[in-house]
Structure 1
Amino acid sequence: MTSVSPADPAEDAGPAAPAAVTVVGIGADGWQGLPDDSRTALRAAEVVIGGPRQLDLLPAACAAERIPWPSPLRPAVPGLLAAHTGRRIAVLASGDPMFYGIGRALTEVLGAGAVRVLPHPSSVSHACARLGWPLEDVEVVTLVGRPAARLAAALYEGRRLLVLSADAGTPGEIAALLRDRGFGPSRMRVLEQLGGPKERTTGEDCAAHWSRPPGDPLNLVAVECRRDPEALRLGAVPGLPDAAYEHDGQLTKRHVRAATLGVLAPAPGELLWDIGGGSGSIAVEWMRTHPFCRAVSVERDPVRAERIGRNAERLGVPGLRVVTGAAPAALAGLPAPDAVFIGGGLTAPGLLDACWAALPVGGRLVANTVTLESEALLTDARRRHGGELTRLAVAHAVPVGGFTGWRQAMPVTQWAVWKTLDSPSGADR
């Protein structure tokens, strides 16, 4: 067999293949605001795909076939690109295509190497420049194609938010949500057509008194958060006040909840199964730790399942998926979890084994109970799989006649385990 030496990449790589698609960011200033590279790419294109508003910004001198995106957009991307294979394709995007723009969908479909991106300043950059806000100190929340309820998770005293609007009615929705969530004193400004000749900023007003009529649909809302002193204070870490939840008594209480989330250790992008959701507090606070955290709450009682959905929306995580059904049967078909919390239903036959089998190596399982029967199951699970058993006991000071004494809550037994290659029965995944 003839041996072949590795080729020198510098000698044999050759010129890089041209990108299949060029994505051009364009602002409200239109064609005249584009740099030379962007204009050249659009003139050279045989097909230009974009939203109707962006396509209308092109001059007649751009002779390419113009194709508006269909709705819904995301599922149409692969087929639309395939229909024009072999042609020079340009895609128009608003502002920076990689900031809540079409650039993400295109790179996911084609791969980063097949997409050339020519960005334009985003509306967020323009807004920070107008407001004098340092960009790194601002949180951006998009409501484009997303429910306004997700804004609630970003509301903290003194926080500066830039909210990307879906349409002309979004500022009014934001004001209503701020009032409902106890942030009526927050200051709002609406910035329209940023970077273009029709740019306009409304005067500052508080959400509690917001009565401005809808303006231009191309807008962004700047919010300086101010909490009503009488409103319930919600912190940024797990352990929200019990009063933050609508519940019927089936609620993992605040101190136990904080300890439980600490052991579950949520990280961005991870998925939690919350089994026996009750009021959904564990799943809600898992998702509040980071916008990319995901959760599925499994609850067999339909009334409680609906309540979980209401709690999730009110506390800013409307993306929480609620499955109504009894585990383990209701777990069939769910995406594999990174962590599992069992807050109810431990005595259901096969539940613990099904959850353990679903976990990949590196996954975590935490189960809480207050009954002796379930505690026996957790003791046996620890014998088989390892992990830690912890007794969580909380007492509150209460009046005792004319004095004060301690009232002990029911102690909670918690089993927590990380699945590793070295765990008993842990190498089967």
Structure 2
Amino acid sequence: MVDFPATAGSREFDRSEVSDGVTVTVVGIDGDALPPAASAVVERAEVVVGDRERLARHAPDGALAVGLDPLPPALDEVERAAGAGQPVAVLVAGDPGLDVVLRALRARGLRPAVVPTVSTVRRLLARLGRPADDVVVVSAHGRDATRALNVCRARPSVAVLTAPGAGPAEIGAGLVGWRRTLVVVEDLGGERERVVSVDPEEAARRTWSDPGVLLCLADPDALAPLAWHAGGEPTPPAGGWALPEDAFAHRDGMVTPAEVRAVALARLAPRPGELVWDVGAGSGAVAVECARMGAAVIAVERDPVQCVRVVANAGTHQVDVRVVEDEAPRGFAGLPRPDAVFVGGGGPEVVAACADLGADRVVVALSAFDRLGSTRDVLRAAGYQVAGCQISVSRMAELSGDPTGATTGLTATNPVFLIWGAGRNDQRGTP
């Protein structure tokens, strides 16, 4: 096994000059033909690993052909062959740097050489005339499928590296209820190339060939805001979190106070790849804050006027929040399982229904002390480790009666009780 330096001597380093000494080489294939730099690598390989189609097309006579699916046995064979000093070529579609196989090989302690090619993501973006910095790239392989789906629910432009069982139909089914367009490419660069734009419902109904990549777009005609890195703004967001109440449209002070939101966000832990529900969302301040941190968010609210406020607040802060106008828990039917739930409104029945959802974290805000015990008991019965606190805040304010405005005092806000459950060991559910 060989680790390659960035340069050799005082000139540009050419990886092909020492390819004879490399045990494992990962070869990216763009379309049907091998790139010129890869032909010699594949021809000398004694073990060739890839999917059925690429093995049939490129594995040389006499080489041991190993299928990539399932992956662990294929990695075992690569590791065995590398240990025996046999040259191994691993064939992947598109850019190896975006393929799960390269990471898996390095996790086994192997340091393969790489023969790169243009990624299918870049080729699809070029085909559609979209800039490369417009998208977040996620993988739907393995256990990452649900997280990839949640990024599609949260972000306006996402490129998804699909996988068996997590293709356009499955991604489409998971996006029903979100306003999205899926751009699906089949046989990109081949004789049967087809690029189709469909809504999630149509994608879920169709039978697809095995595309390597699709785009999930909130607005096919718009680009994501220009940022310093591909796909959007950093997390946590610029300007921080626990924004002041006047950053949200709300009714008569009916908005979760900033200090309460700060603690609630710490316990909810919203982040890219996760789904948060805001139940009894009111004006949606918690929902919007979670979305600003990159999470996918569903706000459940029975008041149609408040639902309009949630949509308006999400638009003001340029985030995507799906709003379900219905009573809780009736409105929960058919929604994807959350990773975290904030309960800002509703009685014991609502808290019990939220505790039964299987979320990793549940945070409940209470204004009435007499509900603390029952809420704690419900969360404990559902298998959570329970903790909580009272948040009493006195804010700086100018005292009345001072014509100069130079005297500062404190104004108390109403205390709020936060109780949260964490530590459930449920397996992640289906997307």
> TM-score, length-normalised on structure 1?
0.51
Q: Which runs of 5+ in 1 are unaligned?
A: 1-8, 228-234, 241-251, 270-277, 313-322, 328-343, 346-367, 371-389, 395-405, 415-429
Residue number in structure 2 paired with 1:348? none
Distance 1:18 1:152, change over 3 A: same
How far apart are the structure 1 equivalents of 2:270 and 2:212? 32
Match of 2:25 among 19, 22, 27: 22
User: 1:22 offset after TM fit, Å?
Assistant: 0.7
Give the share of equivalent positions with the same residue, in percent: 24
Q: Is the 8 A contact 2:49 2:74 kept in 1?
A: no
Of 183, 187, 191 in structure 2, the residue corresponding to residue 193 of structure 1 is 187
Task: Summarize the alignment of residues 202-351 of structure 1 with structure 2, pairs less than 5 Å apart.
Answer: 202=196, 204-207=197-200, 213-226=206-219, 255-256=258-259, 258-260=261-263, 289=293, 305-309=355-359, 325=383, 327=385, 344-345=386-387
How far apart are the structure 1 equivalents of 2:359 and 2:128? Answer: 36
Contact 2:45 2:88 in 1 (8 A): yes
Other-structure match for 2:389: 369
C-alpha contact (below 8 Å) 1:41/1:90 kept by paired residues: yes
Q: Distance in 2 between matches of 1:212 and 1:115?
A: 40
> Which residue number in structure 1 is paired with residue 161 of structure 2?
164
TM-score, normalization by structure 2: 0.51
CA contact (8 A) 1:26 1:94 kept: yes
Separation in structure 2 between the aligned mates of residue 226 and residue 393 of structure 1, nearest angstrom: 44
- Report the CA distance shift for 1:124/1:180 in structure 2 as closer, same or farther (over 3 A): same
Partners in 2 of 1:287 and 1:132 — Cα distance? Answer: 28
* Equivalent residue in structure 1 for 2:415, among 401, 410, 424: 410
Residues 307 and 212 (structure 1), Cα distance of their counterparts in 2 relative to 1, 3 Å cut: closer
Alignment partner of 1:82 is 2:80? yes
Could you tell me whether the CA contact under 8 Å between 2:264 and 2:418 is conserved in 1?
no
Corresponding residue number in structure 2 for 1:65: 64
Give the drift of 1:99: 0.5
| 2: CA distance, partners of 1:325 / 1:177 | 27
> How far did 1:94 drift?
1.7
The answer to whether the aligner puts 1:133 opposite 2:136 as a matched pair is no
Q: How does 1:170-189 map to 2 (within 5 A)?
A: 170-181=167-178, 183=179, 186-189=180-183
Partner letter of residue 151 of structure 1?
L
Structure 2 letter corresponding to 1:129: A
SS state at 2:171 partner: helix
| Paired residue secondary structure (2:176) | helix
1:232 maps to none
Does structure 2 conserve the Cα–Cα contact (< 8 Å) formed by 1:160 and 1:223? Answer: yes
Residues 287-318 of structure 1 show CA distances to partners (whole Å, capped at 9, x for unaligned) of 98469xxxx98xxx996554242999xxxxxx
In 2, Cα distance between the equivalents of 1:206 and 1:78?
40
Aligned length: 283
Per-residue Cα deviation, 1:71-99 (whole angstroms, up to 9, x for no partner): 2x247624641255221111111211120
Root-mean-square deviation over aligned CA pairs: 5.2
Q: Measure the CA separation in 2 of the matches of 1:207 and 1:69.
A: 29
Q: Which runs of 4+ in 1 moved over 6 A?
A: 261-269, 285-288
SS in 2 for 1:195: coil
Match of 1:37 in 2: 37
- Measured after TM superposition, the shift of residue 56 of structure 1 is 2.2
Look up the equivalent residue of 1:101 and give its one-letter code. Answer: V
Relative to structure 1, the CA distance from residue 150 to residue 288 in structure 2 (aligned partners, 3 Å threshold; closer, same or farther) is farther
Secondary structure of 1:38's counterpart equals helix
Task: Provide the residue aligned with 1:358 in structure 2.
Answer: none
Matched, 1:116 2:113: yes
Is 1:152 the equivalent of 2:150? yes
CA shift, 1:179, in A, is: 2.9
Contact 1:168 1:214 in 2 (8 A): no
Change (3 A) 1:305 1:74: farther
Alpha-carbon distance, 1:325 to partner:
4.1
Q: Secondary structure at the match of 1:105?
A: helix
- Per the TM alignment, residue 409 of structure 1 is displaced from its structure 2 partner at its CA by 4.2
